[in-house]
Structure 1
Amino acid sequence: MENDFVKELGYFGFTMRLKRINDMLIQEGRKLYKELGVDIEPNWYVIFELLKVHQRLSITEIANRLLLAHPSVITITNKMIKAGYLESGTDKNDNRVRVLKLTEKARKKLPAYEKIWKSGEKGIARAFEDKDALGFLDLMEKTFGQNGFVKLTLDEYRKDQN
């Protein structure tokens, strides 16, 4: 792309480029679902799959298993509840804890959705067939998980102050 200011920023534009890729994939996912007549959002698949395996989970358990922020999980799951894919109840041992599970509608549609997701997975694999994209993502998560952006930035900032 010509005149890509964010790309010109090098590492300073790193997070913006990740955001652009994410936005592009979400937008493309929406186009795909619209074309196929599917009434779900691109980031719902992971909740479907997680609850397929674990049946009932609290918001906190979902957030912890996906390593997502609690508010992000609430936003996604509230939309899924509104669309009729999740039902909310309370934990048997603690009425304050909200527990989610797939609805009958979700269980019926899941096999068709999984075919779409499998095709999407194959499409992404084909796009990166000779590259280790997943390995690079693992490296990024490990690096930022161990060192953290704040620590890395403060280390560099303090070096520059001396």
Structure 2
Amino acid sequence: MNDDFIKASGTPFIAHRLKRLSEHIVTAIGCLIEAKQLDVPPTAGSTLLVLAAHERAGVMEIAERLRVSHPFIVRVVAKLEALGLITIKNDRDDLRRKWLTLTEKGRAEAAHLNRLNRDLDVVFRRVFEEAGVDLLDAVDRFEAALAREPLAGRLQSQLSSEDTPCVR
């Protein structure tokens, strides 16, 4: 059976379609990372690269830079530490804060990821050309539109007065 219910359902399921696309990309990159015999999980590459770009960083700083949740980064950091890619040290001035730094192994993997990212850029741009859309530009514009007027507000405006409003 080749029915794609989500695709056929259209725009209300855009989040599902984007998640599915994201999972496809992450899986393919994961296979490539594995073939290159790197230890970094595909969902942790950006965290490793943030640390490579800075001498050290805290969990909150990384979460803010990547615009992801603090709990997500906490889980990623635990994996990276277990793999020997980062070290975690307490901040002497603020015991609540921990500094994350790359190990020698982490720096080597970050260098491999930077080279891999250059190749990924070429491949993605070719796919964008084939698809007739610069997906990165489209996502940037979509995010900017939602930053100007969040989705919850747009939905609230669309709802009739008899519907229960979303309180977010």
TM-score normalized by structure 2? 0.87
**Where has structure 1 moved over 3 Å in runs of 4 or more?**
158-161
CA contact (8 A) 2:40 2:109 kept: no
CA contact (8 A) 2:63 2:70 kept: yes
The residue type equivalent to 2:57 in the other structure is L
Q: Which residue of 2 aligns with 1:76?
A: 76
Following TM superposition, by how much is the alpha carbon of 1:4 offset from its aligned partner in structure 2, in angstroms?
A: 0.7
Quote the offset at 1:139 in angstroms: 1.0
1:29 corresponding residue in structure 2: 29
Structure 2 spans left out of the alignment, 5+ residues: 164-168
Q: Identify the residue that residue 144 of structure 2 maps to in structure 1.
A: 142
Q: Which has more helix, going by share of residues?
A: 1
Deviation at 1:51, TM superposition (A): 1.1
Aligned to 1:92: 92
Superposed displacement of residue 138, structure 1: 0.6
State percent identity of aligned pairs: 25
- Once the 2 structures are TM-superposed, how far is the Cα of residue 108 of structure 1 from its aligned partner? 2.8
Structure 1 residue runs of 5 or longer lacking an equivalent are none
User: What is the aligned-residue RMSD (CA, Å)?
Assistant: 1.8
Taking structure 1 as the reference length, the TM-score comes to: 0.90
Corresponding residue of 1:131: 133
Change (3 A) 1:94 1:49: same
Q: Distance in 1 between matches of 2:143 and 2:60?
A: 21
Which amino acid in 2 is paired with 1:21?
L
Corresponding residue of 1:121: 121
Match of 2:166 in 1: none
Give the corresponding residue for 1:10: 10
Residue matched to 1:151 = 153
Q: Match for residue 104 of structure 2?
A: 104
Change (3 A) 1:109 1:142: same
Shift of 1:113: 2.8
